[in-house]
Amino acid sequence: MTVGTSETGAATAGAARLLPPATEESIRMLLSEGHTDAEIRRRTGVDVRTAARRRKEGGFGPATRRRRPNRKHPKEQQVQALITEGLSNGEVHRRTGADRSAIRRIRQQLGIAYVPPKLPPLEEKWEQRTRPVEGGHLEWLGERAKRSGTPVMRYREKSHSPAGIAFRQRTGRDPVGQVRAECDYPHCVAPAHVDDEPGRQRTREQLRYLTGGAERPARCRHGHDQNEHGRYQPDGTAYCEACRRERKRSRRTADEQPGGPA
Ligand SMILES: [Zn+2]
Ligand SMILES: [Zn+2]
């Protein structure tokens, strides 16, 4: 790229301004790209007055590039890597301490626009309504069911379980049965504390064995298969869900017919 004093230039007296066509072409290109005369000198070897003259003759107007594009920031590579990873300028600044204008310049050179990450709107709404509580619990600040006080969340006219959303965050799958926490914080929605029905039963069963409990019988007193109907209470005590349901039903029937038909 560098152009020495060519024989052509020396031989043609009075026409020292004549440059090799390739150099002229380079100058035109750099001018049209908006480089300064100094930068054109640095890149082609012509002096600044020549560059200024070609600028005027060609009607290129003033330079629009103020910095040398190859000037490197001490943390250039680090900044480039973080921008490529998709971080915002603010976050890159926070992590590297690099100057914000330098970060903007590097982003421009890379040609990578910042696209803010999109939290799924349901999770975002959930997150906005939770607050960390001492002990790793998560308090629900949003709506609650009137009688039970169970957290609920309305989203797009549908009712969602905040505990269920927490469960999905932890496990990446849909829960089976009801999701709730068994920690000592009432209606906790911390992802680490909630579990679905099978998960809860497994934990309770483990507790039963850990506290010296024996394996439950295969069938209850009324002959229900405990693999299907067997459940554990929070302390590991086994009970039969089928029997419990039947007791509940007969109690309700009794309540509904206080005096019997008149
Ligand atoms: Zn908790
Ligand atoms: Zn039973």
Q: 200-208: long-range contacts at Cβ-Cβ below 8 A with a sequence spacing of 24 or more?
A: 201/231, 201/232, 204/232, 204/233, 204/234, 204/235, 204/236, 205/232, 205/236, 207/232, 207/235, 207/236, 208/232, 208/236, 208/237, 208/238
* Spatial CB neighbours of 38, under 8 Å, sequence gap ≥ 6: 48
| Ligand nearest, relative to CA of residue 241 | 2
pLDDT at 70: 60
CA 203 – ligand 1 centroid, Å: 15
Q: How many CB atoms lie within 10 A of CB 120?
A: 9
Q: At 252, give phi and psi (nearest 5°).
A: -65, -40
| Ligand nearest, relative to CA of residue 220 | 2
pLDDT at 258: 60
Helices (H), the chain: 7-11, 21-32, 37-44, 48-58, 76-85, 89-96, 100-110, 121-128, 162-171, 197-210, 226-229, 241-256
pLDDT at 157: 87
CA distance 195 to 181: 6
CA 103 – ligand 2 centroid, Å: 68
CA 133 – ligand 1 centroid, Å: 8
Q: What is the 3-class SS of 125-165, one letter each residue?
A: HHHHCEEEECCCEEEECCCECCCCCCECEEECCEEECHHHH
With beta carbons less than 8 A apart as the criterion, state whether 165 and 138 touch.
no
pLDDT at 116: 77
- pLDDT digits (tens), the chain, 262 positions: 444 444 444 444 444 567 889 999 999 999 999 999 988 998 898 999 999 999 999 999 888 887 555 668 889 999 999 999 988 998 899 899 999 999 999 999 999 988 877 767 899 899 999 999 999 999 999 999 999 999 999 998 899 999 999 999 999 999 999 999 989 999 999 999 999 999 999 999 999 999 999 999 999 999 999 999 999 999 999 999 999 999 999 998 887 766 545 4
CA 196 – ligand 2 centroid, Å: 22
List the shell of residues around ion ligand 2, using CB closer than 5 Å: 220, 222, 224, 240, 242-243
| Ligand nearest, relative to CA of residue 190 | 1
CA 257 – ligand 2 centroid, Å: 25
pLDDT at 3: 47
* Spatial CB neighbours of 32, under 8 Å, sequence gap ≥ 6: 60
Handedness of CA 80, 84, 87, 88 (dihedral sign): positive
CA distance 150 to 145: 5
pLDDT at 255: 77
Show the tokens assigned to 22.
Answer: 């390739």
CA 34 – ligand 2 centroid, Å: 86
Q: How many CB atoms lie within 10 A of CB 37?
A: 21
pLDDT at 257: 67
* Residue at token pair 């003033």: 62
Show the tokens assigned to 231.
Answer: 């459940």
With beta carbons less than 8 A apart as the criterion, state whether 166 and 179 touch.
yes
